[in-house]
Structure 1
Amino acid sequence: MSRTGNQLARLESEEVARGVRLLLARPLLTAVHDHDGFDLIRRRREPIVKWFDYYCGWRVLVEPRAGYARLFKTTQRPDRTRPLFDRRRYMLLCLVCAELVTTPTTTAEALTTRVRQAAAADGLPSFDLDRRSDRSALADVLGFLEEQGAVENDDPHVRADPMLITRLLAAPAPPSTVDSIEDLTREARYESAHRSLWQRHSVMRRLVDDPVVYRDELTAGQLAFLTSPSGRKIVQTGIGLAGCTLEERAEGYLVVDADAIATDTRFPDDDSNAKVAALLLLDRLAQGPARFEDLVEEARELLTKFRTWAKAYQSDGGAGRLAADGLELLEAFGLARTENGTVRRLPAAARYAVEELHD
């Protein structure tokens, strides 16, 4: 191959790797929010689609004219440690989307009226903008839809893209046709497929979607695939093609993106009080297992020492809320685990240990 050919091949592989990571971080990527990213995915659509299909069994839809790319990340193992919203906001999200699909152009007042009527008609908890909590919940829902590019909120007018709203749902089965989470996430393709296909896809899904994967969290079949010569080669090749590296430890596996392109949430990071508290709670857990009450006391001491910090938590019950939010982050990042009321630090937390300096 000529020098020019080598350069073009290297450029393509770099762009495909970047496109894969962009979609991992933002499964619904629009040209409005990331023009350059969408243009790259549009140009390298074929190899990017093939990567997700072969390694993860995930479908990618690229619509050049509509200006969006959608990665449908499905799983038979829903992660309850990283919810987008609470139950109330999920309910409002469904009601708001249902109304905007049928009436894409409306006003904020008309939308809230129809949402209130729909909640009453379906026997759901009442929705009332006179309640501060409901106003906050609605603002969060509309903010999320704006962030996804599905809604333009130009007060008092609200304009929606019905197609993008319908693309938000990634479940294999329509929710209205099933009665349980298991039925909602069941993927029929694996019921008649060879076992190795499911092992490859389920392992790669865990590796690219979870901050850390511990061996004791894998099934015997998944672990056998990962430790076999052929399975290990497939995984290492796939991770490499995505521009990442696979770290293997005695306790588990970690996919590292040195450029942090595929990272949707960073830790450690000082962009929130909860993340700062979570890092400090790790220091406490490094001393040994703790009860949640011990972490609350640790948070209370922190708030007492820095009275101008974390003002949202400087109130009655604030220490408990700060400890709970910090612990939720640690569990979501695979750094701590609560079992029978006892919180233990997990092996991956050693990456954030404070090292003493010696002369």
Structure 2
Amino acid sequence: MSRTGNQLARLESEEVARGVRLLLARPLLANGQDPDGFDLIRRRREPITKWFDYYCGWRVIVEPRAGYARLFKTTQRPDRTRPAFDRRRYVLLCLVCAELLTTPVTTLDDLTSRLKQADDMEFDPGRRSDRNAFNGVLTFLEEHGAIEANEQIRADPTLITRLLSSPVAPSTVDTIEDLTYESRYENAHRSLWQRHSVMRRLIDDPVVYKEDLTASQLAFLGSPAGRKVVQTGITLAGCTLEERKEGYVVVDADAIATDTRFPDDDNNAKVAALLLLDRLALGPATTEELAEEAREVLTRFRNWAKAYQSDGGASRLAADGLELLEAFGLARTENGTVHRLPAAARYAVEEPND
């Protein structure tokens, strides 16, 4: 291959890797939110689509004219630690989407009036909690390119229908487990499910502990063929696989593939999470002991974390910090006691050498 050919091949592999990671971070990527990212995925849609299908069994749809790319991620282990909303906001989101599918162009006042008349929930824009929930839903839809909210609300019905990622219609099932059921693996060779299930865990979870994998998944990772597939797939995505005695971590040095970062001082809960890790390094702790740790910090720094400087604020700060630690695979709560997990060693404070 000529030098020019090598350069073009390297450019393509770099762009495919970036496109894969962009979709991992934002499974619904609209042209309006990230024109450069969407253009890259549009140009490299064939190899990107093939990567997700082969390594994860996930479907990708790229619609150049409509201006969006959608990665349909499916998992047999729904992550309940990171919901987009609470239950009430999810209900409100469904109602707002239903109204916007009927009337794609409307005003804020008209949409509010129609929500007040809905039988599914008592919506009162006069209540602060309901206003906050409503604004949160609109912000979510705007961030995903499903609406444009200026003097009027203009919805994109196609993008609204693409918000839900499910291999089966929700109206046909009774539970979340049924909602994520994938019939393609019923008669498939075991190696197909092993490849997809292992790669899904490695790509989607911040940390994968060996104790949380099945015997079949461990056997796949332990075999030369399985290990080669995993290493190749992760490398093609522009990441590296780190293995320790306890488990695995996929590292994206460019931090493109993640939708949230840790450690990061962009909010108080993330700072509190690091402080809680320092406490857990001394040994397991109850949730009450972690709340006391947060209370001491809030007392020492009265101008910090003002949203938590109120009655019950220490418990809320500790709970928010602990939620982050559990989401990142750094801590686990068992019977009211919080345990530090091995991956937390990455964030240990090193003592300076004398």
Partner of 2:62: 62
Question: Matches of residues 253-264 of structure 1 in structure 2 within 5 Å?
Answer: 253-264=248-259
**TM-superposed deviation, 1:191:** 1.1
> How far apart, CA to CA, are the structure 2 residues paired with 1:117 and 1:159?
21
Please tell me whether residue 304 in structure 1 is matched to residue 299 in structure 2.
yes
Quote the Cα distance in structure 2 between the aligned partners of 1:137 and 1:17: 36
Task: Report the CA distance between 1:125 and its aligned residue.
Answer: 3.4
Q: Aligned partners of 2:347, 2:82: CA distance in 1, in Å?
A: 21
Secondary structure at the counterpart of residue 333 of structure 2: strand
User: Which residue number in structure 1 is paired with residue 139 of structure 2?
Assistant: 143
Which aligned pairs between 1:233-252 and structure 2 lie closer than 5 A? 233-252=228-247
Cα separation, 1, equivalents of 2:163 and 2:111? 19
Instruction: Give the corresponding residue for 2:90.
Output: 90
Q: Establish whether residue 202 from structure 1 lines up as the match of residue 205 from structure 2.
A: no
AA partner of residue 323 (structure 2): E
Shift in Å, 1:30: 1.1
- 1:51 corresponds in structure 2 to 51
Q: Distance in 2 between matches of 1:292 and 1:125?
A: 34
Counterpart of 2:17? 17
**What is the CA–CA distance in structure 2 between the aligned matches of 1:28 and 1:242, rounded to whole Å?**
18
For normalisation by structure 2, the TM-score amounts to: 0.99
Match of residue 148 from structure 2: 152
CA distance in 2, matches of 1:116, 1:201: 44
Distance 1:196 1:98 in 2: 41
* 3-state SS, counterpart of residue 153 of structure 2: strand
Counterpart residue number, 1:351: 346
Query: SS of the counterpart of 2:158?
Result: helix
What amino acid sits opposite 2:267 in the alignment? S
The residue aligned with 1:35 is: 35
Alpha-carbon displacement from aligned partner over 1:103-146 (angstroms, at most 9, x marks no partner): 1001111112222222x2xxx33111111000000000000000
Identity of aligned residues (%): 81
One-letter amino acid of the counterpart of residue 133, structure 1: S
Structure 2: tracts of 5 or more residues without a match: none
Alignment partner, residue 110 of structure 1: 110
Opposite residue 70 of structure 1, the aligned amino acid is R
> C-alpha separation between the residues in 1 aligned to 2:65 and 2:320?
42
Q: What are the superposed Cα offsets for residues 283-308 of structure 1, whole Å, 9 maximum, x if unpaired?
A: 00000000000000000000000000
CA distance in 1, matches of 2:350, 2:183: 49
Q: CA RMSD in A?
A: 0.7
Q: Are 1:125 and 2:133 counterparts?
A: no
Q: For 1:131 and 1:204, how far apart are their aligned partners in 2?
A: 45
The corresponding residue for 2:165 is 170
Match of 2:77 in 1: 77
Residue deviations 1:323-354 (CA, integer Å, cap 9, x gap): 00000000000000000111000000000000
Deviation at 1:175, TM superposition (A): 1.1
**Secondary structure of 2:117 counterpart:** helix
Shift of 1:160: 0.2
Q: TM-score, normalised by structure 1?
A: 0.98
Rounded to whole Å, the distance in 1 between the matches of 2:100 and 2:186 is 36
Aligned residue in 1 for 2:321: 326
Structure 1 residue runs of 5 or longer lacking an equivalent are none
Q: What amino acid maps onto 1:321 in structure 2?
A: R
Counting matched residue pairs gives 354
Alpha-carbon distance in structure 1 between the residues aligned to 2:195 and 2:123: 45
Q: Which amino acid aligns with 1:146?
A: E
